[in-house]
Structure 1
Amino acid sequence: MALSFELTQSVAILGGGPGGYEAALAAAQLGAEVTLVERAGVGGSAVITDVVPSKSLIATADAAVAISEAGDLGVQFYARGDRDRPLKPEVAINLAAVNKRLLTLARQQSDDMRTTLVDAGVRILTGHGRLEGDNAVVVSTEQGGTDFDRVEADTLVVSVGASPRILPSAVPDGERILTWTQLYDMKGMPEHLIVVGSGVTGAEFAGAYMNLGAQVTLVSSRERVLPGEDPDAATVLEKVFTRGGMTVLSRSRAESVSRVGDGVVVTLTDGRTVEGSHCLLAVGSVPNTAGIGLEEAGVQMDDSGRIRVNRVARTSVPNIYAAGDCTTFMPLASVASMQGRTAVFHALGDVVIPLDSRRITANIFTAPEIATVGWQEKDVADGRVGGVVHTLPLAANPRAKMMGVRNGFVKIIALAGSGTVIGGVIVAPRASELIYPVAMAVERRLTVDQVSRVFAVYPSLSGSITDAVRAMHHVERSDED
């Protein structure tokens, strides 16, 4: 039901990614007059060149692994050769076809989102936008163009996203030295892909191309891959990588990347060099906040150019809000979406629940996936929270055995004294789906005993969650796992 206003409220949104899209939809649902400005297409880079295509690529890689490992389950693939002799076929990847499909899916998703906004009554302007003070957005049909639209609004929402970080010593050429937005132009499988950066993006692409059949070298400046994640989860993933044939160079920082003929050379700070056919740069991102009028409007940013926001996505200017990777909050598409809705709810006077970073669910789409929510084991070890940790290997789960799953675990963190679930980690196939009941427990402050009384299907991977919390019965009686 839309709220009623004495005067119709107007909302102008700069950027049509997940945050801008949800802000526009929520504002329209509340009866506001809404204008969305987007230069690339509704959904922004998250849909068109980032999340949707990358996860589609990973889904293809997962399918290739499922086929190659089917023999472990007794499924064998053969073709008939000369004299009716069986031949074992190889799994072949048509990367050009894969890339065409995933880019088509991304564009279809963008078109569907645009249709939803239009049907909701949102006005969409295509072009480059910038703020003009704290009450207007100016839109040009091309950057630096002379034709402008000026949109005045009571509330402004900035959701302009971020772009791959470029190093002066490793400038992408779009052919051999690539950012993650340029990977989809490749027509054939890279013979040897060197991935610089072992964070989430680097790990996801390194694992995907390894599973698609490419030789992969991962250059990590830290002691292990995924340095910001649960150490046990990162250890499992690194073992999977090395077992799959990937070369992981730990404590190795890239000094430069250069094009040499039909290949690349990555020079490390210790003087070593790594030669390959292609190089993916996954060294972080920079917010798209330069030159769009934020400073002139009085919006505060941090040293990296990200917009400072509070828990309701409000900036230092009362009627300007911001959402997504351009802000100082967590750079996740799901977070951007929630920020966009929260911003509009707050601006238009609807019920608002401020965002709590300790209740945000995150997932890394490697194989196996790594999903997390809430407080982590490191927080317990460092004394930031009085918690109890229990870890259950996935290999003990009957459904995992049936599926041939050997890697992964369920980890539950609960408060000592009450047994309230405050966090969890799941490393498993489709961990992004399995983490949901743990996230619900964290959100609703359920105890391990309450979660343990929920029936889980037998056999199922989700049964490991039930088994883990059952093992924590009467956790309030002990300060140790």
Structure 2
Amino acid sequence: MTSQQDVFAPFALPSLAILGGGPGGYEAAMVAASMGAEVTIIERSGVGGSAVLTDVVPSKTLIATADAMNRNVDSAELGVSFKAADGDPKEAIKADLLQINERVLRLAKEQSTDIRRGLEAVGVKIIIGTGRLLDNRTIEVDRGETNEIVRADAILVSVGAHPRELATAKPDGERIFNWTQIYDLKELPEELIVVGSGVTGAEFASAFNGLGSKVTLISSRDQVLPGEDSDAAAVLEDVFARRGLTVLSRSRAESVQRTEHGVVVTLGDGSTVTGTHCLVCVGSIPNTTGIGLEAAGVEVTSSGHIKVDGVSRTSAPNVYAAGDCTGVFALASVAAMQGRIAVAHLGGDGVRPLKLKNVSSNIFTSPEIASVGVSEADLASGKYQGDVLKLSLRTNARAKMRNVDEGFIKIIARKGSGTVIGGVVVGAGACELIFPIALAVAQKLHVDDVASTFTVYPSLSGSISEAARRLHVHM
């Protein structure tokens, strides 16, 4: 006879060891512990990993401060003005970078503490140290003066990644920085050169421009944010130009050297760009070297990323992986989902493989750029057939009230059926506005389902409904 405990406790994994306490690790730990497993997290820096301590939380906190300054500088149209001796509103608002960075790091530490408390409250054991797999069930932890052996029925590897460096542009933490060092600055850079126009480079360029630095963004491609929606990138470049941010397109940085009072960046054509500081954002490298993956039988790609399938399994029995070290999508939300999926699969719970076309992402520039699902590039390549409707936010009543004069809503529907398969939002709060489109993509909603759902008037979300309405398919 099956007991009630057997019916409601399908989780069959007594113990789980997690190497890395970032979003993939701590989310998996929370789920596994709530299902009755004995869970141990090994983390070398602090709970939350780089996402909380040196990457996502700090950078988005810095960006939020810059956004506040941008709103105030642009508030004259609203009848709100800041007086300065020369009449320039930018001169009336100053950024105290020392205070800003102190707050940034304090919030990161507080978030790490909150996550740790939540984990300990559900019984998760946390070990601070450097872990190395001895086999597919054992991790050796170097705790400095002592070593500890952790054995478990299964292992989840979620070790993240670190900034890629150029041999000719070594960060020194004083004039030349990677993105983990930028919070050590005590004063606002007078002239900041940002190398790399991907997501990280564009975000920091936008933020420091908003804080008052003179920013030059060096991009090796035709547009900023290569690979993103071209309409969105065009809007961002227009805003950059209007705010005095210089973009050097099709320019590759060959070297960055420190001078007596600043830095000089040498480009591929031999020309140079000078500034007071330089931030190098040229990608990341997975933290998979020297952690015993070979001993455990875990295969990696040529780039060092761990190979995983749709349910986060590696090539080794009992070993799963999640997060940036897998090279799937460098997003905290994806890491967390991979971790949760791994635990569900381990426990025999209902699980759906990770579907990348359901992943929504946001670029925290000003304005923000969010996207989900099929892109216009996918349509152009012939992978999908769809109809596209782009609706400018200039005509949105709420946008006018908030003095928002750039941005758009874009919805992509499957040709013939009208099912929502993708979307892009550009504008303030795009990270929030993308959710209803992402929900429509994930649940395969029809454009009429979106259009017939009530929205608040006036609201920015009203433009999502309007865009869907214009994509109505006559049956």
Range class of TM-score, shorter chain: over 0.9
Match of 2:19 among 14, 22, 25: 14
Question: How far did 1:87 drift?
Answer: 10
Decide whether the 8 Å contact of 1:309 with 1:328 is kept in 2: no
Q: Distance in 2 between matches of 1:5 and 1:149?
A: 31
For 2:126, what is the secondary structure of its paired residue? strand
Q: Distance in 1 between matches of 2:437 and 2:322?
A: 26
Whether 1:397 and 2:401 are equivalent positions in the alignment is no
Q: Distance in 2 between matches of 1:6 and 1:424?
A: 37
Q: Distance in 2 between matches of 1:76 and 1:202?
A: 31
- 2:435 corresponds in structure 1 to 436
Identify if the C-alpha distance between structure 1 residues 150 and 72 changes in structure 2 by more than 3 Å, giving closer, same or farther: same
1:381-420 superposed matches below 5 A: 381-420=380-419
Decide whether the 8 Å contact of 2:11 with 2:348 is kept in 1: no
Match of 1:31 among 19, 28, 36: 36
Match of 1:127 among 126, 129, 132: 129
Question: How far did 1:366 drift?
Answer: 0.5
- 1:45 corresponds in structure 2 to 50
Paired residue type of 1:192:
E
1:35-434 superposed matches below 5 A: 35-78=40-83, 90-142=92-144, 147-434=146-433
Deviations 1:397-455 (A, max 9, x none): 11111111111100000011110000000001000000000011001100001110000
Decide whether the 8 Å contact of 1:394 with 1:408 is kept in 2: yes
Deviations 1:88-110 (A, max 9, x none): 76101100000000100000000
Q: Distance in 1 between matches of 2:9 and 2:81?
A: 64
Percent identical residues:
58
Question: How far did 1:78 drift?
Answer: 3.8
TM-score normalised per structure 2: 0.96
Identify if the C-alpha distance between structure 1 residues 7 and 157 changes in structure 2 by more than 3 Å, giving closer, same or farther: closer
Question: How far did 1:8 drift?
Answer: 5.8
Question: How far did 1:71 drift?
Answer: 0.5
Paired residue type of 1:359:
N
Identify if the C-alpha distance between structure 1 residues 322 and 7 changes in structure 2 by more than 3 Å, giving closer, same or farther: closer
Q: Distance in 1 between matches of 2:283 and 2:81?
A: 42
Q: Distance in 1 between matches of 2:171 and 2:13?
A: 47
CA root-mean-square deviation: 1.7
Q: Distance in 1 between matches of 2:260 and 2:313?
A: 50
For 1:66, what is the secondary structure of its paired residue? helix
Q: Distance in 2 between matches of 1:318 and 1:219?
A: 45
Q: Distance in 1 between matches of 2:365 and 2:465?
A: 24
Decide whether the 8 Å contact of 2:10 with 2:349 is kept in 1: no
Paired residue type of 2:117:
T
Identify if the C-alpha distance between structure 1 residues 261 and 116 changes in structure 2 by more than 3 Å, giving closer, same or farther: same
Q: Distance in 2 between matches of 1:328 and 1:49?
A: 19
TM-score normalised per structure 1: 0.95
Decide whether the 8 Å contact of 2:133 with 2:140 is kept in 1: yes
Q: Distance in 1 between matches of 2:133 and 2:388?
A: 48
Equivalent pairs counted in the alignment come to: 469
Question: How far did 1:228 drift?
Answer: 1.2
Decide whether the 8 Å contact of 2:265 with 2:274 is kept in 1: yes
Moved >6 Å (runs of 4+): 86-89
Q: Distance in 2 between matches of 1:136 and 1:87?
A: 62
For 2:457, what is the secondary structure of its paired residue? coil
- 2:467 corresponds in structure 1 to 468
Paired residue type of 1:243:
R
Identify if the C-alpha distance between structure 1 residues 114 and 388 changes in structure 2 by more than 3 Å, giving closer, same or farther: same
Question: How far did 1:75 drift?
Answer: 1.0
Identify if the C-alpha distance between structure 1 residues 9 and 66 changes in structure 2 by more than 3 Å, giving closer, same or farther: same
Decide whether the 8 Å contact of 1:134 with 1:319 is kept in 2: yes
Identify if the C-alpha distance between structure 1 residues 174 and 473 changes in structure 2 by more than 3 Å, giving closer, same or farther: same
Identify if the C-alpha distance between structure 1 residues 297 and 8 changes in structure 2 by more than 3 Å, giving closer, same or farther: closer
| Unpaired stretches in structure 1, ≥5 consecutive residues | none
Identify if the C-alpha distance between structure 1 residues 50 and 456 changes in structure 2 by more than 3 Å, giving closer, same or farther: same
Q: Distance in 2 between matches of 1:6 and 1:87?
A: 63
Decide whether the 8 Å contact of 1:388 with 1:414 is kept in 2: yes
Deviations 1:29-55 (A, max 9, x none): 110010000011100010001000100
Q: Distance in 1 between matches of 2:193 and 2:166?
A: 16
Decide whether the 8 Å contact of 2:217 with 2:245 is kept in 1: yes
Identify if the C-alpha distance between structure 1 residues 355 and 87 changes in structure 2 by more than 3 Å, giving closer, same or farther: closer
Question: How far did 1:6 drift?
Answer: 9.4
Deviations 1:328-366 (A, max 9, x none): 311100000011111011011111111100000000000
Deviations 1:227-267 (A, max 9, x none): 11000000100111111101100000000011111201100
Paired residue type of 1:212:
L
Paired residue type of 2:100:
V
Q: Distance in 2 between matches of 1:250 and 1:87?
A: 30
Deviations 1:244-295 (A, max 9, x none): 1011000000000111112011001110100100000000000000000001
Deviations 1:367-396 (A, max 9, x none): 110000000111112110111111101111
Paired residue type of 1:465:
I
Identify if the C-alpha distance between structure 1 residues 8 and 340 changes in structure 2 by more than 3 Å, giving closer, same or farther: closer
Deviations 1:147-185 (A, max 9, x none): 211011111000000000011111000100000000000
Q: Distance in 1 between matches of 2:88 and 2:123?
A: 59
Q: Distance in 2 between matches of 1:68 and 1:210?
A: 12
Paired residue type of 2:19:
L
